[in-house]
Structure 1
Amino acid sequence: MDMATTSHREVPALSGTQFERGTPEGRSLRMMLSSAGRRVGLMRSFRQSAGLLGADLTMFACDLTPEWSPACIEADKASAAPPAESEEFIPAMLDICKREQIGLVVPTIDTELLAYSRARDQFSAINCHVAVADEPLVLMARDKLATALFLTEAGLRSPRTIAAEEFLSGEADLSLPLLAKPRHGSSSRGIMMAQNREDVLGLDKSEPYILQEYLHGREFTVSLYFDGEGQLQCAIPHERLRVRSGEVEKGVTVRDPSLSDMAWRLGKALHGARGAMCFQVRVDENGQPSIFEINARFGGGYPLAHQAGAQFARWMLEERLGLPRTANDDWQEGVLMLRFDDAVFV
Structure 2
Amino acid sequence: MNLLFTCAGRRNYLLKYFKEIIGKQGVIIAVDSNPLAPAFADADLSFEMQPVHHPEYLVELKDVIDRYQVDLVIPLNDIELPLLSKNKSYLESGGARVVVSNEKIVSIASDKWKTFRFFQHLNIKTPLSFLSVNDAEDAISNGLVNFPLILKPRWGSASIGIKQVDNRRELRLAYEWLNVEIEKSVLNQMNFSQIDEAIIIQEKLTGQEFGMDILNDFEGRHYGSFARKKLIMRSGETDKATTAISEQFSELGRKLSGQTKHIGIMDCDFFLANDQVYFLEMNPRFGGGYPLSHAGGVNVPGIYIEWSKGNRNVSEYDNYIDNLTFSKCDTVVNVPKQNRLNVESILSL
* TM-score between the two structures when normalised by the length of structure 1: 0.85
Equivalent residue, structure 2, for 1:105 = 73
Give, in whole Å, the separation in 2 of the partners of 1:108 and 1:277: 11
Give, in whole Å, the separation in 2 of the partners of 1:162 and 1:193: 14
**Structure 1: gaps (5+ residues):** 1-28
Q: CA contact under 8 A between 2:137 and 2:168: conserved in structure 1? A: no
Instruction: Select the residue among 3, 9, 14 that pairs with 1:42.
Output: 14
State how 1:88-237 maps to structure 2 within 5 Å.
Answer: 88-167=56-135, 170=138, 173=142, 174-202=145-173, 203=175, 204-205=178-179, 206=183, 208-237=198-227
SS in 1 for 2:147: coil
Asked if 1:58 is matched to 2:27, the reply is yes
Name the structure with the higher helix share: 2
RMSD: 1.9
Query: Structure 1 pair 176/167, CA: closer, same or farther in 2 (3 Å)?
Result: farther
Query: Structure 1 pair 149/166, CA: closer, same or farther in 2 (3 Å)?
Result: farther
Shift of 1:87: 2.0
Asked if 1:298 is matched to 2:266, the reply is no
Give, in whole Å, the separation in 1 of the partners of 2:312 and 2:117: 38
Give, in whole Å, the separation in 1 of the partners of 2:33 and 2:222: 33
- Deviations for 1:8-43, whole angstroms, at most 9, x for unmatched residues? xxxxxxxxxxxxxxxxxxxxx111111111101111
**Letter of the 1:32 counterpart:** L
Q: CA contact under 8 A between 1:235 and 1:329: conserved in structure 2? A: no
Q: CA contact under 8 A between 1:225 and 1:234: conserved in structure 2? A: yes
Equivalent residue, structure 2, for 1:344 = 333
Q: CA contact under 8 A between 1:258 and 1:288: conserved in structure 2? A: no
Equivalent residue, structure 2, for 1:4 = none
Shift of 1:76: 0.3
- Deviations for 1:163-207, whole angstroms, at most 9, x for unmatched residues? 125526848854433111110001111101122333333322235
Query: Structure 1 pair 166/117, CA: closer, same or farther in 2 (3 Å)?
Result: farther
Give, in whole Å, the separation in 1 of the partners of 2:127 and 2:137: 20
Q: How many residues align?
A: 312
Q: CA contact under 8 A between 1:104 and 1:128: conserved in structure 2? A: yes
Asked if 1:33 is matched to 2:5, the reply is yes
Shift of 1:215: 0.7
Give, in whole Å, the separation in 2 of the partners of 1:277 and 1:73: 26
Shift of 1:311: 1.5
Query: Structure 1 pair 166/151, CA: closer, same or farther in 2 (3 Å)?
Result: farther
Asked if 1:84 is matched to 2:80, the reply is no
**Structure 2: gaps (5+ residues):** 184-194, 336-349
SS in 2 for 1:111: helix
Query: Structure 1 pair 73/50, CA: closer, same or farther in 2 (3 Å)?
Result: same
Asked if 1:256 is matched to 2:246, the reply is yes
More divergent stretch after superposition (93-102 vs 299-308): 299-308
**Letter of the 1:64 counterpart:** S
Shift of 1:307: 2.4
Q: CA contact under 8 A between 1:50 and 1:56: conserved in structure 2? A: yes
* TM-score between the two structures when normalised by the length of structure 2: 0.84
Shift of 1:123: 1.7
Give, in whole Å, the separation in 1 of the partners of 2:234 and 2:139: 36
Equivalent residue, structure 2, for 1:332 = 321
Query: Structure 1 pair 305/257, CA: closer, same or farther in 2 (3 Å)?
Result: same
- Deviations for 1:102-130, whole angstroms, at most 9, x for unmatched residues? 11110001011111101110122111111
**Letter of the 1:318 counterpart:** E
Query: Structure 1 pair 260/324, CA: closer, same or farther in 2 (3 Å)?
Result: closer
**Letter of the 1:49 counterpart:** I
Give, in whole Å, the separation in 2 of the partners of 1:140 and 1:181: 16
Query: Structure 1 pair 217/60, CA: closer, same or farther in 2 (3 Å)?
Result: same
More divergent stretch after superposition (195-204 vs 237-246): 195-204
Q: CA contact under 8 A between 2:16 and 2:42: conserved in structure 1? A: no
Give, in whole Å, the separation in 1 of the partners of 2:30 and 2:87: 19
Equivalent residue, structure 1, for 2:188 = none
Shift of 1:289: 1.2
